[in-house]
Structure 1
Amino acid sequence: MHRLLLVLAVLALASCGGGGSRPTGEVGQACMSAGRSAATPRLCSCIDQVAGRTLSRAEQRETARYIRDPEKLQEMKLDDRPRAEEMWRTYDRFVNAARTACG
């Protein structure tokens, strides 16, 4: 399950293409520092812009943690508390928005 979530997130994020500058937001910086081969400044900048439009500051911080540490994403996905379930829905909407806006 963990690998499936990671693969889905990377594929969604890798399909983005927008902007060309280095990202300055927390999500974009996490994208750049995550060490994934598909993480280019252009891709991470696009993801960062989508995060800025679709996520609150707190959600951006949490999403950046998930990008840096996919294990935390897996933990959140498996957590059945209402807050975790809501964050999963928020994260899923963000990934879909990033795919749409940047693809």
Structure 2
Amino acid sequence: MKYLLTVTLCAGALGWMAPAPTEAGSIERACRQSNRTAASPELCSCIQRVANTSLSASERRKVARWFDNPHQAQEVRQSSRSGDAKLWQRYRAFGDRAAEVCG
């Protein structure tokens, strides 16, 4: 049983770390266009892979807009709407995970 669990986890990790498709996702595109010096293609691709496992497609599109307009993120963070609070929690978890995985 322990062996099966180890193999399953390793296979899942390898699938997750597989090269991204040639079409960039919304987070990756926003990252690359952000004109930040640290925004290398490798880093942006890694962040997109983490986003794919952490956020829904609609959340990824919304968060991608924050690269151009960080004030939108601030509005979500300070919002009293429960949906915005949930998005902010998921975004923070995504950011923590991206920092851990992508460096």
Question: What is the TM-score when the length of structure 2 is the normalising length?
Answer: 0.74
Which residue is 1:100 aligned to?
Answer: 100
Name the structure 1 match of 2:91.
91
- Counterpart-to-counterpart distance in 2, 1:74 and 1:27: 18
Q: Which residue number corresponds to residue 57 of structure 1?
A: 57
Question: Unaligned stretches of 5+ in structure 2?
Answer: 1-18
Residues 87 and 29 (structure 1 numbering): CA distance in 2 closer, same or farther, change over 3 Å? same
Quick one: structure 1 residues 67 and 53, their matched pair in 2 at CA, closer, same or farther if it must change by over 3 Å?
Answer: same
Runs of 4+ in 1 over 6 A off after TM superposition: none
RMSD between aligned alpha carbons? Answer: 2.1
Higher relative contact order (CA 8 A, sep 6+): 1
Q: What residue identity is the alignment partner of 1:31?
A: C
1:22 Cα deviation after fit: 7.7
Q: How many aligned positions are there?
A: 85
Give, in angstroms, the shift of residue 68 of structure 1: 2.3
Match of 1:74 in 2: 74
1:41/1:22 CA distance change after superposition, 3 Å: farther
Structure (1 or 2) with the larger CA radius of gyration: 2
Measured in 2, the distance between the counterparts of 1:95 and 1:23 equals: 22
Partner of 1:28: 28
- Residue 15 (structure 2) aligns with: none
Q: For structure 1, which runs of at least 5 residues remain unmatched after alignment?
A: 1-18
| Percent of pairs with identical residues | 36
In structure 2, the partner of 1:46 is 46
Distance 2:23 2:67 in 1: 14
